[in-house]
Amino acid sequence: MKIHKDDTVLIISGKDRGRKSKVLETFPKESRILAEGINLRKKHQRPKRTGEKGQVVEMPAPIHISNVKLICPKCGKAIRPGYKIEDKKKNRICKKCGQEI
């Protein structure tokens, strides 16, 4: 997965296109991520007690990583990260400014 938890991403398709968000969770098996406030789905919550009203809450739904681009924390550009192998460790780097991410 090129996208990690706590990354900042730019949404490049769908109704949230152009928005920036923080990655809350990743699902590597499905190549999907959950991003803060992105792809919100309305969910009806049943009342907890009698007499209370049910609520509609908005919850983010996972989106495919092909719909997002990583934002470099240093240069602030939306990038496709490169990789640098160092001591058998794979580090993500920004191809634009060379920053390790």
31 near Zn ion (CB under 5 A): no
72 near Zn ion (CB under 5 A): yes
The first and second tokens of residue 58, run together, are 């908005």
Q: How far is the CB of 37 from Zn ion (least distance, A)?
A: 24
Q: Which of 4, 17, 74, 80 binds Zn ion (CB under 5 A)?
A: 74
CB-based burial, 48-58: b 16+ in 10 Å, e otherwise: eeeeeeeeeee
Site size for Zn ion (CB under 5 A): 7
Listed ranges 11-19, 27-35, 49-57, 66-74: which one lies at the site for Zn ion (CB under 5 A): 66-74
Beta strands in the chain (DSSP E): 8-11, 20-27, 32-35, 40-45, 55-60, 63-64, 68-71, 78-79, 82-86, 89-93
99 near Zn ion (CB under 5 A): yes
Listed ranges 5-13, 14-22, 65-73, 81-89: which one lies at the site for Zn ion (CB under 5 A): 65-73
